[in-house]
């Protein structure tokens, strides 16, 4: 890497004060500190703590945790493609190639337009480039359907960076999760391109088999209930005709993630591997992850007891493996900026995300995937949760002091 270090040092004077590219200094600095540890120290007079990791390295840890979801998503896009055209026994490399063909451009567009927006604001405002988009740029593709138009990915990414982040002052100041804001923007602005059968890429040169449906299990389950069927029975007996894709929506397959859905959010197993990485490295909060699952399970179990319709009768464990609950709990709810900050607040924050997810799924079937709205809603209330937790702590301490 010495040649790269030498090359950066050689051009550095052009970006420093008085250089011909002075106004682009923070663009240079972003690349320099991403590739190498910063060689400067904090200038403040406060207490200093030495650590082996900076913000960019922490963001890279999150990206590493997301790699299992990304790699599995690439395979699943190809698998669903060949399953939809009646060739479930296609070669593994063919499936991976189709997945790469659809996923890599979405990732590239997310990073190009997102970082382009970040660099523009850094140049105009004369502040360092915010490293948070290293994670956001990967999260956005993972919550998109594989057949999403690339121009919509670009538009949603720019919208999310400007409205959900830069409008609040940049990384560390945003209230809403940026990646979920991009997804919500598309969900309400272009519902036709993020619903229906867009969850499976078929291709212009291929013909889907008779009876094919690329909808998510939550959408199929909602349709079954609307038709007076039992949701679990409909999922377990679903096939494309002639037994093709039989067992696609069984509990085991929902856990593994081999079904149509967002590129990286279908596999609970891959999300749990990512959760282990985040918890082991101390980057993600295990309290939030556990409480989201606990809240969802508890709410669903309560509906099982008091329920009066088919939505309420869905077994609680199915809510944990359907849709993007696991992905949201592991990678979205644990966002260190938009989540609750106090330790007690993390439990409350996560529990309400899980509860609201099931409430939205069961009581508002128009939005069968409730995790997105639940997290965004709790993002707004996270500061209030922390406020009352701190207030309660102060009250208890004052009471002890007067005893």
Q: What is the per-residue pLDDT for 24?
A: 61
CB 146 within 8 A of CB 103: yes
Q: Averaged over 167-182, what is the pLDDT?
A: 85
Quick one: which of 71, 24, 59, 14 has its CA closest to 264?
71
The span from the CA of 112 to the CA of 109, in Å, is 5
pLDDT digits (tens, 9 = 90+) for 260-269: 999 999 999 9
Using pLDDT thresholds of 50, 70 and 90, give the confidence band for residue 307. confident
Quick one: which of 190, 180, 179 has its CA closest to 148?
190
Own/partner contacts of 305-309, CB < 8 Å, gap of 24 or more, are: 309/225
Q: What average pLDDT does the chain have?
A: 85
pLDDT digits (tens, 9 = 90+) for 193-234: 887 788 999 987 888 888 888 888 888 887 887 777 888 888
The span from the CA of 296 to the CA of 276, in Å, is 20
How many residues in the chain?
A: 403
Q: What is the per-residue pLDDT for 99?
A: 96
Does position 2 have pLDDT exceeding 70, yes or no?
no
Return all residues near 356 (Cβ < 8 A) that are at least 6 apart.
370, 373, 374, 377, 378
Place of tokens 């529990």: 351
Q: What is the per-residue pLDDT for 97?
A: 96
CB 143 within 8 A of CB 216: no
Give the CA radius of gyration of the chain: 23
Using pLDDT thresholds of 50, 70 and 90, give the confidence band for residue 155. very high
pLDDT digits (tens, 9 = 90+) for 327-349: 999 999 999 889 999 999 999 99
Does position 31 have pLDDT exceeding 80, yes or no?
no
């Amino acid at each position: 890497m010495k040649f790269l270090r030498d090359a950066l040092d050689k051009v550095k004077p052009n970006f420093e004060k008085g250089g011909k590219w002075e106004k682009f200094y923070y663009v240079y600095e972003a690349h320099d500190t991403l590739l190498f540890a910063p060689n400067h120290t904090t200038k403040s007079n406060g207490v200093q703590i030495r650590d082996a990791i900076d913000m960019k390295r922490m963001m890279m840890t999150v990206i590493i945790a997301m790699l299992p979801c990304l790699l599995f998503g690439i395979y699943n896009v190809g698998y669903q493609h060949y399953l939809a055209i009646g060739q479930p026994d296609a070669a593994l490399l063919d499936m991976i190639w189709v997945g790469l063909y659809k996923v890599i451009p979405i990732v590239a567009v997310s990073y190009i337009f997102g970082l382009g927006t970040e660099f523009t604001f850094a140049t105009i405002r004369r502040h360092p480039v915010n490293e948070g988009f290293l994670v956001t740029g990967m999260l956005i593709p993972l919550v998109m359907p594989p057949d999403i138009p690339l121009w919509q990915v670009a538009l949603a990414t720019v919208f999310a960076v400007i409205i959900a982040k830069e409008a609040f002052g940049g990384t560390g100041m945003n209230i809403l999760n940026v990646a979920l804001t991009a997804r919500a923007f598309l969900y309400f602005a272009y519902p036709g391109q993020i619903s229906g059968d867009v969850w499976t890429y078929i291709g212009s040169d291929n013909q889907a088999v008779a009876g094919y449906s690329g909808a998510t299990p939550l959408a199929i389950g909602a349709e079954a209930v609307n038709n007076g069927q039992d949701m679990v029975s409909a999922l377990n007996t679903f096939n494309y005709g002639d037994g093709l894709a039989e067992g696609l929506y069984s509990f085991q397959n929902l856990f593994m993630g081999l079904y149509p859905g967002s590129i990286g959010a279908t596999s609970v197993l891959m999300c749990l591997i990512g959760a282990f990485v985040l918890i082991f490295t101390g980057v993600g909060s295990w309290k939030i992850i556990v409480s989201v699952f606990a809240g969802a399970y508890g709410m669903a179990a309560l509906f099982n007891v008091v329920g009066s319709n088919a939505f309420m009768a869905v077994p609680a464990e199915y809510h944990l493996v359907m849709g993007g609950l696991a992905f949201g709990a592991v990678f979205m709810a644990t966002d260190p900026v938009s989540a609750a900050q106090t330790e007690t607040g993390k439990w409350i924050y996560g529990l309400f995300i899980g509860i609201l997810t099931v409430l939205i799924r069961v009581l508002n079937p128009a939005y069968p995937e409730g995790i997105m709205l639940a997290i965004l809603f709790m993002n707004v209330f996270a500061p209030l949760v922390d406020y009352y937790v701190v207030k309660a702590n102060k009250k208890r301490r004052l009471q002890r002091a007067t005893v």
